[in-house]
Amino acid sequence: MSKRFNFLDYIKNGGNKPFVSLQIGGGAGFDTKLAGKKWITETTIMDTIRAYETVGCEPLINIPLCEFDKFIPELKRQTITQENIDKKSSESSLESPFGQLYWKMNEIPKEGIVPLVYPVNSNDPAAFDKICWYAEQFHKAGKYIQELMGPEIFMIHEQDAPVCIQWNLQPFEMLGLTTVDQLVMLAMLEPEKFRKTCDIVRDVNLDILEQVIKTGADFVFLGGPGSEMLSPKLYQDFLIPDSKIITDSVHRLGGLIYSHICSPVEPFLSMGFYNQMGIDLFETLSPPPVGNVTDLAKARKTDLVANICTRGNIGLDVLLNGTVEDVQRAVEEIWQATKGSKHMIAASDYLFYDIPLENVKAVVDMAEKLSFNS
């Protein structure tokens, strides 16, 4: 059975043996280290694929939505970059009819990109106009996705791996133009404008995801990082209804939905919010100090519906600082807590640069021992 088919089959049907799919890539750096590189932005898809092969677990390859500025001049940013031995800096700007959009980012070796300035904030009277203008430019993007992403998706499938396309799909995220705290401020200060803007962003993203799935993507990434900062009301007013529209569309097209929250998920987990969002693969149900789920067995078997496949939950602290024996013990505890459920043994987040390879391999080796004894 191919690895890609094996992964997709487990998402849909589960299995009776431990299934390991550690999170490699995602800008975290473990694949960068194995490739002998220090700048995470220089990591290639093949670096990530080779890292999965080295570890020996089931792959899921995340790639970003392509850039469209080649075909849509309005999205062409002016960018200035600087580099020295310990930092890369970039400043980008984009002119809109409502004022300039400006980004500033730093990259640190082995650590990745740190955004310093986002182009939209709640103090800007033109915030919603800028977001809507930016979103509307992407209405022109769909017809270029096959040309721009088809070869990359085909290459990943040729390497026998499923692929997930990741961008700011969740309308609440406002296309990644602002921080989570500013999203909350915008939603609370101007709920009607925020709702109308969400509708525009959602419709644009529905057009894009249709072309992404038709081009061959197995998953689209629903979003989630930072949503633990939200109130239940914001979930009920924005994230749940918009997610359901998006996931229904993805499922009609034959695709799957992947969502990732690597920090506290309570109380939304026990309130059943994730069950309402149409998610196929959800991570992670992590214990403290990474998350706040104290009973994995209850979370998996009671709080989440059976058709959702989960992925996790070995703490990055254990993988980074623990012994091989600590890692093996964590794998066995996760297996015992999730046996009989659709759960992939993995980490609490994407693997950091400095996590020892022997600890990562210990996850796979222990799962094989448990599989032999099950």
pLDDT value at 179 more than 80: yes
At 262 the pLDDT is 81
User: Predicted confidence band at 225 (pLDDT cuts at 50, 70, 90)?
Assistant: low
- Contact between 292 and 264 under an 8 Å Cβ cutoff? The reply is yes
DSSP code for 228: G
At 288 the pLDDT is 86
Nearest to 38 by CA among 106, 101, 107: 107
- Cβ neighbours around 108 below 10 Å, total: 14
Across the beta sheet with 112-117, the strand order is 78-84, 87-96, 99-108, 112-117
Quick one: average pLDDT of 110-115?
Answer: 92
pLDDT value at 1 more than 80: no
Q: Mind listing the pLDDT tens digit for each residue in 260-302? A: 988 789 999 999 999 999 999 999 898 888 889 999 999 999 9
pTM higher than the cut 0.85? yes
Task: Give the three-class secondary structure for 92.
Answer: strand
User: Predicted confidence band at 227 (pLDDT cuts at 50, 70, 90)?
Assistant: low
Quick one: average pLDDT of 100-115?
Answer: 94
User: Predicted confidence band at 362 (pLDDT cuts at 50, 70, 90)?
Assistant: very high
User: Predicted confidence band at 224 (pLDDT cuts at 50, 70, 90)?
Assistant: low
pLDDT value at 14 more than 70: yes
At 23 the pLDDT is 97
Alpha-carbon distance of 284 to 143, in angstroms, equals 35
What is the rounded average pLDDT for all residues in the chain?
94
Q: Which residues have C-beta within 8 Å of that of residue 253, sequence separation ≥ 6?
A: 209, 210, 213, 214
Q: Which residues have C-beta within 8 Å of that of residue 202, sequence separation ≥ 6?
A: 171, 242, 245, 246
Helix, strand, coil shares of the chain, percent, nearest 5, are 45, 20, 35
The strand ranges marked E within 250-314 are 256-260, 281-283, 309-314
**b/e per residue, 166-186, with b = 16+ CB within 10 A?**
bbbbbbbbbbbbbbeebbbbb
pLDDT value at 190 more than 60: yes
